[in-house]
A = this chain, B = another copy of it.
Amino acid sequence: MRSDTNRPDTVATQAPDQHESVRLGSLEHYLAFHLRMAQCASFKAFKRRSGDCSLKPGWFALLSLIGDNPGITPMALSRASGRDKSTLTPVLRELAANCMIERQELKGDKRSYTLSLTAKGKCELAVLATHAIQHDREIEEIAGSDKDVLLDLLRRITAQFD
């Protein structure tokens, strides 16, 4: 979506014809709509930036959680990431197949197992994290002195609707 500072209520289209601009209309003033647009644009940019990585950008949060909580179980990971346990199975399988994570016996409960990053996983995560930091720096620059306000607001929105 393109923004037009002279006409903040419209979006320029790519072909300048009779449909050159579209009124965002009532959408323009919804916080939730702009939250969606901003997240979508940010995630697409992160995907573009990290496209050459061996780790998929959508897995960054999961990998980070494992890296920061070695020995975490799939269930704990499911709860921490807010995703159903069934969505983790294929991801963990592929990560294990690519030697990014290791599974080990969980003493005291044979139903479960623990997860941790391999040396390769740590290395690849570090590469992806570099892109993530650069990406986040771009958002920080936009926010400027309002960075902490933005972070606090986003945390409170998440907590509110949880």
Contact = CB atoms under 8 A, between A and B. Distances in A.
B162 A153 contact: no
Given A3-B155, A22-B72, A161-B42, A150 B31 contact: yes
Interface of A: 1-3, 11, 13-15, 19, 22-27, 29-46, 61, 64-65, 67-69, 72-73, 75-77, 79-82, 129, 132, 135-136, 138-140, 142-143, 146-147, 149-151, 153-162
Given A69-B23, A136-B31, A160-B138, A149 B147 contact: no
A159 B153 CA distance: 20
Task: Kindly list the 3 A-B residue pairs having the minimum CB-CB distance in the complex, ordered from nearest.
Answer: A25-B68, A39-B39, A41-B161
Given A22-B72, A132-B30, A13 B149 contact: no
A39 B24 CA distance: 20
Contacts of A135: 32
Contacts of A26: 64, 67-68, 129
A154 B34 contact: yes
Nearest to A45: B161
Contacts of A43: 32, 36
Contact of A153 (B46, B129, B146): B146
Contact of A41 (B34, B37, B138, B157): B157
